[in-house]
Amino acid sequence: MELLVFVAASAMVLGGALGVILMRNPVHSALGLVLTLFGVAVHFVALEAHFLAAVQVIVYAGAIVVLFLFVIMLLGVDSAEDLKVDGLTIQRPLAAIIGIGTVAIVSVAVLRTRSTIAAGPALEASGDSNIRLLSRNLFSDQVLAFEITSVLLIVAVAGTVLLTRKQSGPTGARKGS
Partner 1 sequence: MAVSELAGLFQGDLPMGSPMVTGDPLLDGPLLWAPLIVVAIKVLVIFVLGLVGTMFMVWFERKVVAGMQNRVGPNKAGPFGILQTLADGIKLFFKEDLLPDRADRFVFRLAPFLAFVPAFLVWSVIPLGGDYSGGRDGIVTILGQQTRVQLADPPIGILLVLAMSSIAVYGIMLAGWSSGSKYPLLGSVRASAQMISYEAALGLSLAAVLVTSGTLSTSGIVASQTTLGSWNLVTTGFIPFIVFLIAATAELNRPPFDLVEAEQELVGGFNTEYSSLRFALFFLAEFMNTITMSAIVVTLFLGGPRPPAIGNTALTIPLIPGALEGTIWFVLKLLVFLYFYVWLRATLPRLRYDQLMNLGWKVLIPISLGWFLLLAAIRVGDSNGWNVIAVVVIALVSLGLGYLLFTAALRVSSRQRDREGAMY
Partner 2 sequence: MIFAGSQSVIAQINQWVAPTIDWHALAPELVLIVGINLVLFIDLSLGAAKKWAMATLTGLVFLAAFIPVVTLAVIGDASREMFDGRYVVDGYSLILKAIFLLAAYVLVLMSQNELEEGGYYQGEFYVLMMCSVLGMVMMTSARDLIAIFVALELLSIPAYMMAAWRKRDSRSNEAGVKYYLLGVFASAVLLYGMSFLYGTTGSTKLTDIGASLVDGDLLGLQVLAVVFVLGGLAFKISAVPFHSWAPDTYEGAPTPVTAFLSVASKAAGFVALMSIVMLALAPANSVVRPMLWVLAALTMTVGNVMALRQTNIVRMLAYSSVSQGGFILMPLVVIGTGNAGDSVLRAVIVYLLIYAFMNLGAFSIVIAVARRTRSGEITSFGGLFGYAPGLAVLMTIFMASLAGIPPLGGWIAKFNVFKTVLDAGDTAAYVLALIGAVNTVIAAAYYMRVLRQVWMAPAPDGDVSPIKVPSSIQAALAITAVGTVLLGVLPGLVLRFGDITDLTGALAR
Binding footprint of partner 2 on the chain (CB under 8 A): 105-106, 108-110, 112-113, 116-118, 120-121, 123, 129, 132-133, 136-137, 139-145, 148-149, 151-152, 154-156, 158-160, 162-163, 168-177
Q: Are 12 and 36 in contact (CB under 8 A)?
A: yes
Q: Quick one: 84 or 112, whose CB is closer to partner 2?
A: 112
Residue 111: count other Cβ atoms within 10 Å of its Cβ: 9
Q: Does 127 bind partner 1 (CB under 8 A)?
A: yes
* Most distant CA atoms of the chain, gap in Å: 76
What's the closest the beta carbon of residue 146 comes to partner 2, in angstroms? Answer: 8
Q: Does 133 bind partner 1 (CB under 8 A)?
A: no
Q: Quick one: 47 or 55, whose CB is closer to partner 1?
A: 55
Q: Residues of 136-151 as b/e, b for ≥16 C-beta within 10 angstroms?
A: eeeeeeeeeeeeeeee
Q: Kindly tell me which residue out of 17, 47, 54, 134 binds partner 1, with binding defined by CB under 8 A.
A: 54
What's the closest the beta carbon of residue 4 comes to partner 2, in angstroms? Answer: 23
Q: Quick one: 113 or 167, whose CB is closer to partner 1?
A: 167
- Dihedral of the alpha carbons of 94, 100, 105, 107, in degrees to the nearest 10: 170
Q: Quick one: 92 or 132, whose CB is closer to partner 1?
A: 132
Backbone dihedral region for residue 31 (phi beyond 0: left; psi -120 to 50: alpha; all else: beta):
alpha
Classify 177 as helix, strand or coil: coil
- Find which of partner 2, partner 1, none residue 126 binds, CB within 5 to 8 Å per kind: partner 1
